[in-house]
A and B are shown apart, each in its own frame.
Chain A
Amino acid sequence: DADVTQTPRNRITKTGKRIMLECSQTKGHDRMYWYRQDPGLGLRLIYYSFDVKDINKGEISDGYSVSRQAQAKFSLSLESAIPNQTALYFCATSDLSGLAIKPNTGELFFGEGSRLTVL
């Protein structure tokens, strides 16, 4: 089984519908992230969480919300989907912890992605 699992892998929905993308991890990491990937724009940060009680907005959080249900679970919601939210969404975890960064830490472990199409 994958260390970071995303569901659904593909979803087609209509404008105005509520959508939830789910992410679960078995890495035991505290830090989890949601990214959006669009062609030519690279990965952009939507939300991130350093632990269950610590959730932060990223650079493109408008129109999205998140829930950290447990250390292992981090969900992304689109309350009212719109066509320009059509994209590939990735959940990731990081092996960073606390304030100390060791030389070989900071690796991001990505899920397989959730492709969302909003019509």
Chain B
Amino acid sequence: KNQVEQSPQSLIILEGKNCTLQCNYTVSPFSNLRWYKQDTGRGPVSLTIMTFSENTKSNGRYTATLDADTKQSSLHITASQLSDSASYICVVILSGTYKYIFGTGTRLKVLA
């Protein structure tokens, strides 16, 4: 069964600290993986895309990694800010059918 699992479900950190969110997937055949940020009451917005051949990609303070062998991805947030408080959703696209498989997200709260 194609599944995307994210951990932790929720996380609270202090402003300025770093954190890492995890995404494990059992999706095949794999096309690419995206991390989305969803602010409360808003639609998700893409942060970064990881293709099969990419290991690491950065977008400002956000760094995503992908290990295609272990089918794991992570999103590392450096020097967190209050505005990072949001849900982070991992989404995998199936090659061929182009179906999107969503994780349930990690809810991050950054405290001052």
Contacts and interface: CB of A to CB of B under 8 A. Distances in A.
Interface in B3-45: 31-32, 34, 36, 41-45
Given A110-B45, A112-B42, A113-B42, A101 B95 contact: yes
Interface string B34-59: 10100001111110010100000000
Contacts of B32: 103-104, 106
Contacts, number: 54
A40 B104 contact: yes
A111 B43 contact: yes
Contacts of A113: 41-43
Interface string A41-85: 111110000000000000000000000000000000000000000
B89 interface: yes
B46 A96 contact: no
B34 A42 contact: no
A102 to B, nearest CB: 10
A112 B104 CA distance: 18
Contact of A106 (B98, B103, B105): B98
A45 B43 contact: no
Contact of B31 (A40, A42, A101, A107): A101
A4 interface: yes
B75 interface: no
A42 B44 CA distance: 11
Interface of A: 4, 40-45, 88, 90, 92, 94, 96, 101, 103-104, 106-108, 110-113, 115
Interface of B: 31-32, 34, 36, 41-46, 49, 51, 89, 91, 93, 95, 98, 100, 102-105
